[in-house]
């Protein structure tokens, strides 16, 4: 058996899926709140709620992805390097 030293980076990286889902849910909640704040006399027969949900969910998705990317970069900057011994046969 041979042993060789290698350097490894240890870091905690976020999972993107929970950030995406949370962003979309937040966007949908914002759409319902905005729809409830529109006075009845200003509403049109068009499906305003559908458009609000679509646009706010997309904005929430983008915000969730952006948050995950920023946290990933922060964790990359805080990564620690350690030395390990690799055993080869």
- Establish if 86 belongs to a structural domain: no
- Establish if 89 belongs to a structural domain: no
| Degrees, nearest 5: CA angle 8-9-11 | 145
- Establish if 50 belongs to a structural domain: yes
User: Average pLDDT per run of 10 along the chain, which is 89 residues long?
Assistant: 85 92 96 89 78 95 96 92 87
- Establish if 21 belongs to a structural domain: yes
- Establish if 60 belongs to a structural domain: yes
- Establish if 2 belongs to a structural domain: no
Query: pTM score, two decimals?
Result: 0.76
How many domains would you assign to the chain?
A: 1
Q: Which residues contact 41 (CB under 8 A, 6 or more apart)?
A: none
DSSP 44-73: -SS-HHHHHHHHHHHHHHHHHHHHHHHHHH
Q: Can you tell me whether residue 18 is helix, strand or coil?
A: helix
| pLDDT value of position 45 | 66
The DSSP element (H or E) to which 77 belongs, if any, is: helix 48-77
């Amino acid at each position: 058996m041979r042993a060789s030293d290698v350097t490894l980076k240890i870091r905690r990286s976020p999972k993107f899926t929970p950030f995406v889902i949370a962003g979309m849910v937040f966007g949908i909640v914002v759409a319902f709140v905005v729809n409830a704040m529109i006075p009845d006399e200003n509403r049109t027969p068009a499906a305003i709620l559908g458009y609000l949900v679509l646009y706010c969910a997309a904005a929430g998705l983008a915000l969730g992805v952006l948050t995950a990317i920023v946290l990933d970069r922060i964790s990359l900057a805080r990564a620690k390097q350690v030395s390990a011994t690799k055993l080869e046969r």
